[in-house]
Amino acid sequence: MLYNLHVKNLAIIDEIEVTFDEGFNVLTGETGAGKSIIIDSINTVLGGRAQKNIIRDGEKEALIELMFTVETKAQEKKLSELGISAEDHEVLLTRKISEKRTINRINGESVAASKLREVAALFIDIHGQNEHETLTSAKNHREIIDDYASDKVSPLKEKIAQSYDNFKKFDEQAREYNIPESERTREISFLEFELNEIETANLKHGEEAKLEEELKRLTNARSIGEALSSAYSFTEGMGGASEKISAALQEVLRVKEFDKGLNGIADQLSELDVLVNDLNRDIDSYMSEFDIDEAALLRVSERLDLIKSLKQKYGNTTADVIAYGGEIREKLQKYKDYEKNLNSLHEKMEREKEIIKEHSLKLSEVRSKAGKEFDKKMTEALLDLNFPQVIFETRVEKSDRYTKDGCDSVVFYVSLNKGSESRPLQEAASGGEMSRIMLAMKSVFASDDDIPTLIFDEIDTGISGRTAQKVAEKIVSISGTHQVICISHLAQIAAMADSHFLIEKNTDSEKTITSIKQLQDNEKIQEIARILGGVSITDAVISSAEEMKKLADSYKKQNV
């Protein structure tokens, strides 16, 4: 549940902190005191757009923090799947808003706004004053029924969506494939030319690097020959290294018997003599086989020119050219098997269409059955909200057009007065009635969902008297299984609260500040009296407030 709210430097809020309780929490206060800012701040942390102009005048940044307590294993599991660790069974969501940027954090760790929304959705659901506008669009009615029966609907929709995507993919391939015969013939001819050019070249991986090395050797053959000849003259012949090393060896051998220390030097000279003689033989052998082959030079140059030409046409590297040849080979085979492949695509499309149709019809049955169950629960909920003659009906109509969501249109019909004809919901209900209908839906979903906290922002707009009492009782009913936070201006709702918070706006010579405090029993009576009596709070109004609170407490004892 939502345990703590901390707001700093937001609009007319300097700094407030409030700890909410389980059950039914109500927030009241004069118009303009800042009640809507409280909801806006919560919405902002839940991933809503952070407007820079909400920062309090004269301040550089605003801070909003929500502390939630984790109370179920299911919540722990979902948090773990999102990579969030709930130490001490708490999760802290934070948004710090400045003129330059917004920083989002979960338990002190920076995250994207999307992650903030995902985590917040596990804990809280907000129904604002204008949320009932979703009911004015029939396209949302199908989503409501699908959410209501999600355990049965979701698997079917996933299968339909998969087949729908497959159908679109095959259809796109068929469209690309379905070209006139004359154009296909020209394409085959062109591809055959390209493939023949690549296959005739018979390219090999790594060939180009070897050819470039060979070209470098052949191009510099004369210089290589001259260098080898010079090297040989330095090591062999009169006055060469070989003759001098041999002479040095003879001199050392002549005197080494007089000094054992000369044995090492003699050995080294002997090794050098052998090495130089071996070197001379290698140079001589290499020079005897070395030839300035002009024909080979021409052959290598032409081969490299061919490879360069193919690379300019078909790829940046030899590997790219070879790969392109493979692609052409596959394309040619497809064109040659044109009729077979096109028929195969059409057969695949037909199979996917059948799957879509089959599961869409099953989905229609599920929606129709769920609609009847939903109608029964909605009717019961609306009766509780002072619609004594209500008829609520979900109409599921199939069409011949299939989409990812099946083939149904879903429209809610309602008759709110005895004898009146059922009409589409958006045509039959006023704004105040729409708010109560949305509350009824929330109560239906609340019995099954696992979101622990529900917030209602002035859902009581446009109602009074007995209807207000019924709305209060319905909210109390919901608070039996959920934490409810309600912003209200009705005494009937305020009287039902388990915890009552007063939002006030105070102005001094320099600034205006919004504050919030939790009321004690006698303060609750005073606030209920203020709502009832307005400017003048008489003893009679106080008495009425006390009676209203007493009746509310009695109702909760008997029904919660």
Q: From CA 228, how far away is CA 290, in angstroms rounded?
A: 10
pLDDT digits (tens, 9 = 90+) for 335-371: 788 888 888 889 999 999 999 999 999 999 999 999 9
Same domain assignment for residues 102 and 212: no
Domain contains 95: yes
pLDDT tens digits along 210-255: 888 888 878 877 787 777 777 777 777 666 777 787 878 787 888 8
Cβ-in-10-Å burial (0-12, 13-18, 19+) of 473 comes to buried
What is the CATH classification number for the domain harbouring 497? 3.40.50.300
My answer on whether 116 and 189 are in the same domain is: no
pLDDT digits (tens, 9 = 90+) for 108-117: 899 988 888 8
497 — pLDDT class (breaks 50, 70, 90): very high
Instruction: Please indicate, yes or no, whether residues 188 and 318 belong to a single structural domain of this protein.
Output: yes
* 302, 336, 370 - which closes a domain: 336
**pLDDT for the residue 167:** 94
DSSP single-letter state for residue 55? B
> Is the pTM above the cut of 0.75?
no
Whether residue 293 lies inside any domain: the answer is: yes
Residue 168 placed within a domain: no
* Statement: residue 73 has pLDDT above 90: no
Residue 538 lies in a domain: no
Per the rule left: phi > 0, alpha: psi between -120 and 50, beta: everything else, 516 is beta
Which runs of consecutive H residues, i.e. helices, occur in 236-337?
A: 241-255, 262-289, 294-314, 318-336
Q: Phi and psi of 236, rounded to 5°?
A: -130, 155
The 10s digit of each residue's pLDDT in 22-62 is: 999 999 988 777 777 888 888 888 767 767 778 888 888 98
Query: Does residue 484 belong to any structural domain of this protein?
Result: yes
Is 553 or 508 the better-scoring residue by pLDDT?
A: 553
Neighbour order of strands in the sheet with 423-424: 391-403, 406-415, 423-424
Same domain, 115 and 257: no
Question: Which residues 6+ apart lie within 8 Å of 276 measured at CB?
Answer: 235, 241, 242, 245
CA separation for the pair 13, 516 (Å, rounded): 10
Using the 3D structure, point to which of 271, 304, 336 is the last residue of a domain.
336
Q: With contact defined as beta carbons under 8 Å apart, do 203 and 196 qualify?
A: no
Q: How is residue 47 annotated by DSSP? A: T
The DSSP-derived string for 182-209 is HHHHHHHHHHHHHHHHHHHHT--TTHHH
In the predicted model, is pLDDT for residue 461 greater than 80?
Answer: no
Note whether 330 and 199 are same-domain residues. yes
Q: How sure is the predictor about 289, in pLDDT bands with cuts at 50, 70 and 90?
A: low
How far is Cα 288 from Cα 174, in angstroms, rounded to an integer?
A: 67
- Output the average pLDDT for the chain: 86
Mean pLDDT of 475-502: 91
Q: Say if residues 437 and 414 touch (Cβ distance below 8 Å).
A: yes
Strand partners, 453: 124, 483
What is the structure's pLDDT at 375?
A: 95
Within this chain, do residues 64 and 189 fall inside the same structural domain, yes or no? no
- What pLDDT shows up at residue 365? 95
How many separate domains does the chain show? Answer: 2
Calculate mean pLDDT across residues 4-12. 89
Predicted local confidence at residue 164, as pLDDT: 94
- Whether residue 369 lies inside any domain: the answer is no
Burial 23-33 (b: 16+ CB within 10 A, else e): bbbbbbbeeeb
Task: Kindly tell me if the per-residue pLDDT of 129 is higher than 70.
Answer: no
More confidently predicted of 505 and 49: 505
What is the per-residue pLDDT for 151?
92
213 and 117, same structural domain?
Answer: no
Task: Please give the Cα distance from 370 to 141 (Å, whole number).
Answer: 13
Q: Which domain holds residue 488?
A: 1-123+452-518
Confidence of residue 130 (pLDDT cuts 50, 70, 90): low
Could you tell me if 189 and 310 lie in one domain?
yes
Nearest to 5 by CA among 30, 32, 31, 27: 27
Across the range 170-185, mean pLDDT stands at 81
Q: What pLDDT was estimated at residue 494?
A: 93
* Least confident range of 246-255, 382-391, 421-430: 246-255
Q: Which of 551, 560, 519 is nearest to 21 (CA)?
A: 519
Is residue 559 included in any domain, yes or no?
A: no
3-class DSSP state for residue 126? strand
With 80 as the cut, is the pLDDT of residue 449 above it?
A: no
Q: Tell me the one-letter amino acid at 505.
A: K
Q: Quick check: is 135 in a domain?
A: no
Q: How far apart, in Å, do the first and last CA atoms of the chain sit?
A: 19
| 3-state SS, residue 391 | strand
* CB contact set of 119 (below 8 Å; sequence gap of 6+): 79, 82, 84, 91, 93, 106
Query: End of a domain among 336, 364, 382?
Result: 336
- DSSP class of 57: T
Same domain for 325 and 196, yes or no, is yes
55 in the same domain as 193: no
Q: What local confidence, expressed as pLDDT, does residue 391 receive?
A: 92
Checking if the pLDDT of 183 tops 90, the result is: no
Q: Verify that 76 and 193 share a domain, yes or no.
A: no
Residues 192 and 331 in one domain: yes
Tokens representing residue 137 in the block: 């669009």
